[in-house]
A and B are shown apart, each in its own frame.
Chain A
Amino acid sequence: MSTPVLIKADQVSRRFVKRSSYAERIAQMLGAKPVSHTVHAVDTVSLEIHRGEVVGLVGESGCGKSTFGRMLAGVVPPSSGTIHVADADGAGTTVLGSRGKLAHRLGTQMIFQDPMSSLNPRKRVREIIGEAPLVHGMVKRCDLDDYVVDVMERVGLNPDVRQRYPHQFSGGQRQRISIGRALAVKPDFLICDESIAALDVSIQAQIINLFMRLRRDLGLTYLFISHDLGVVEHISDRVAIMYLGRIVETAPTADLFARPLHPYTVALLNQVPRLSNRKRAYDSIQGEIPSPLAPPKGCHFHPRCPHAMPRCSVEHPELTEAASNHRVACHLFTEAK
C-alpha cells in the first residue's frame, strides 16, 4: 500500500506466567511432571496498520485479540517483540514498549467494551471528557467548557447534559461519552475493543455510523476488534483473523469474505448466522476451542481442521502470501511454494 504505515507490530508476544505454588513445586521435586502455567495470549503476531485504514481484527474468545489491542494502546507491555509507531512528522518511528517497557502514546486511544465500567462513575461528563486535555495543556481552563461542548456535539450528545453522571445515561450514550473522551485528546489512531458488542442492534447502528462519520471527518485510523463478522465486513478495509494467539489470515475485506483460504476462516464464515440463510442446517466444526494454557503443538487449529496433515501437528505454519495482499498461515498453502 502506498499510504504510510502508522503502527507496526513486529513478532509481538505476550505471555502470562503463573508461578507454581509451593505444593506443586514439592510435587515436582518428588517426581511429578512439571505443569505449565504459561498462557501464550499473543504468540509472535506481526501486523502493519496504514494511516487512514480500518483494520478489523476478528476471533473468538481466548484468541488474544483484546490483549493485542491493549499492547498497541500501550496499556499492556509485550513480553517480546516490538511495536513501532510513526512519528508525527513522518520522519521516523519510535519504539513503543520493547522488553517489557511501557510508553503510552496520547495519539492512540481505546474505546472499551463495557459501557458501564469504562466510565468513572464518580465523575461528571464534563470532567470525563475535559480532564485529559486540560492536564496535558491542550486547552486552557477558560476555554474548557466550549471545548467539551464541541466534542459532545461531534459525538452526537446534547451538550446540556454535561453536568450529569454516567449512570444517568443509556448504554449507547455512554459509549458516545467514551468516544468523546478519546477524541478530546486529538488521537490519530482508535482501537475499538468490542465497543458495540454490549449494545442493542439499533444503537449499534448509530455508533457504527458515528465511527464512519468520524473517520471521514477527522481522518482517523481504526483497529476494530470484534467477534461480529457482519459489522467487520461492513466497516473494515482489511481483516485479520486470529486463533489462539496467532494471526491465521489477513486480506482486504472483499477478498477475505469472497475467497477465504484458511480452514478456520472458511468454517467461521460458514457458521456465522446470516439473515439470508433461512432454516438452514447448521453444520459445525467439531471440538471445543482449546485452552490457551495448553495449545496444540504445531498449527493450533489442526485438531479441528478437516484438512489436517501429519505436518500440521509438528510444524507451526508461518504467514505467507498466497494471493495479492492476502496472507495465510496454513501448510496447505506453504506446500505449494
Chain B
Amino acid sequence: MPPAIPTLSVEKLQTHFFTAAGVAKAVDDVSFDVYPGEIVGLVGESGSGKSITGFSILGLIDAPGRIVGGRVLFKGVDLTSYGREALRQLRGNRIAMIFQDPMMTLNPVLRIDTQMMETVRAHAPVSKQAAREQAREALAAVGIPAPDERLNAYPHRLSGGMRQRVAIAIAMLHKPDLIIADEPTTALDVTIQAQILAQMQKLCARSNTAMVWVSHDLAVVAGLADRICVMYAGRIVETGDVDTILEHPRHPYTIGLLGAVPENVARGEPLMQVPGVAPSALALPAGCAFSPRCTFATDTCRTQKPPVFKAGDSHLHRCFHPVERVAA
C-alpha cells in the first residue's frame, strides 16, 4: 500500500511577533506531519509556542504577528499562500478548531440551533430544516442527552462540559479532515474530561479525522495520542511515538518534564526540578534555547542551535548530547 499523503504537513514554520519591545519569535522552525486518523499531541508549557502553532496553521495570527517562514501543507496544498476567502472556505469545513474556552466558539446571544445551522449553511446549500436535523444529529453524536432541549437553549444555560461538547459538535459538523484542539479539556473536571476524551476518540476513529491535540498535560496526551511532539521556546525538541517518548526520552527537557510528574516519582521523594524559567520569546539564548537550564550543557550547546538528529524510527530530537538512559 503506498504511503498516504499526510493530511497536515508543517514545514519549518516560523511565526514572529513584531512588538515595540522587539521581535518575539514565538514559533521558530517547527515541522511535523499528521496522517489521516492519527492523533498527534503537541506538548509544551506556557510560552513554548504550541498554541501559536495551532493558530498559525489556521491562519488566525493577527498583527503584530505574522508567519515569516515555512509552509503549512494541507493535503499537499500550501495554506500560507491562500487568500482570506480561500481560507474561510476551509475553516469550519475541512479544518476545524476547538478552543480551550468554548465561549470562543459560541456566540452568547444566539441560540445553539441558530449557531449550528449557521455553520452548516455557511458551507453547504441546505434548507433550514435539513440544517437543524444535521445539528441535532451532531449533538447526539457527542453524547449530549436530550439534544432537542439543548438546541433551543442559549449557551449560558449549559454547563462548561456541555458547552465544550457543543463546540466539538460544531467542529465535527462537516466531518473535517483535520481538527486542531487547543487544550479543550484543561478547564474541565476530571469526570467531564474523561467523557469528552472518550467522545473525541470515538469520533476520530469513526471518521478517520486527523487531529492535533495541543496540551500541557502529558497524561492526557499519553492516553489519547499516537505520537507526541514536545515543544520548547518555539521549537520542537523531541518527537516520536507515545511509547518511545514516555519510556525512552532523549532530550533533557523531555526527561525533566517526565520527572516532574508525581506519578513517575516514589512517594515522598522530591520531584525532578528543572531549575530556572523558560526564556522569553523576545530574548532567546544563542545556541540551544534550553542550554541555560540544562545540566548537560556544553559550549557547543551554548553557541550553536542544535539541528534535528534521528534517534530511531520516526524518533527525532534536537540535542547535541541526548540522554541514553530510560526515564525513571
Contacts and interface: CB of A to CB of B under 8 A. Distances in A.
A312 to B, nearest CB: 18
Interface in A198-231: 200-206, 208-209, 212-213, 227, 229-231
Contacts of B49: none
Given A274-B263, A282-B194, A282-B198, A227 B45 contact: no
Contacts of A275: 218-219, 222, 246, 258, 261, 263-264
Interface string A232-274: 0111000000000000000001100000000000011001111
Contacts of A271: 190-191, 193-194
29 contacts: A60-B192, A201-B261, A202-B256, A202-B273, A205-B271, A205-B274, A208-B271, A212-B270, A213-B270, A227-B190, A229-B190, A231-B262, A233-B262, A234-B262, A234-B268, A234-B271, A253-B267, A273-B193, A273-B223, A274-B263, A275-B222, A277-B222, A278-B222, A278-B223, A279-B242, A284-B191, A284-B195, A288-B159, A288-B161
Interface of B: 45-46, 159, 161-162, 189-195, 197-198, 201, 216-220, 222-224, 226, 242-243, 246, 256-265, 267-268, 270-274, 277-278
Given A172-B277, A275-B218, A61 B189 contact: yes
B194 A276 contact: no
B131 to A, nearest CB: 27
User: Which 5 residue pairs across A and B have the least CB separation, nearest first?
Assistant: A234-B262, A205-B260, A271-B194, A60-B189, A273-B219
Nearest to A59: B189
Given A208-B271, A283-B198, A202 B260 contact: yes
A41 to B, nearest CB: 16
A275 B327 CA distance: 12
Contacts of B262: 208, 230-231, 233-235
A276 B263 contact: yes
What size tier do the contact residues of chain A reach?
35 or more
A61 B187 CA distance: 10
Contact of B223 (A200, A212, A229, A280): A280
Contacts of A272: 190, 219
A268 B242 contact: no
A289 interface: yes
Contacts of B193: 271, 273
A198 B223 CA distance: 22
Contacts of A201: 45, 216-218, 257, 260-261
Contacts of B201: 281-282
Contact of A233 (B243, B259, B267): B267
A285 interface: yes
A9 to B, nearest CB: 24
A170 interface: yes
Given A61-B189, A202-B256, A273-B219, 8 more contacts: A200-B45, A201-B216, A208-B262, A233-B263, A234-B262, A273-B194, A275-B263, A288-B192
B127 to A, nearest CB: 33
A284 B256 CA distance: 31
B272 A205 contact: yes
A315 B18 CA distance: 63
Contacts of B274: 202, 205
A204 B256 CA distance: 12
B265 A268 contact: no
A286 to B, nearest CB: 8
A268 B191 contact: yes
Contact of B273 (A205, A253, A286, A289): A205
A60 B223 contact: no
A43 to B, nearest CB: 19
A60 B187 CA distance: 11
Nearest to A63: B189
Given A209-B273, A274-B223, A234 B190 contact: no
Interface in A269-323: 271-286, 288-289
Contacts of B197: 273, 282
B191 A267 contact: yes
B198 A284 contact: yes
Residue in A267, A271, A285 with the greatest tally of chain B CB atoms within 10 Å: A271
A280 B242 CA distance: 12
Contacts of A284: 191, 194-195, 198
A268 B242 CA distance: 24
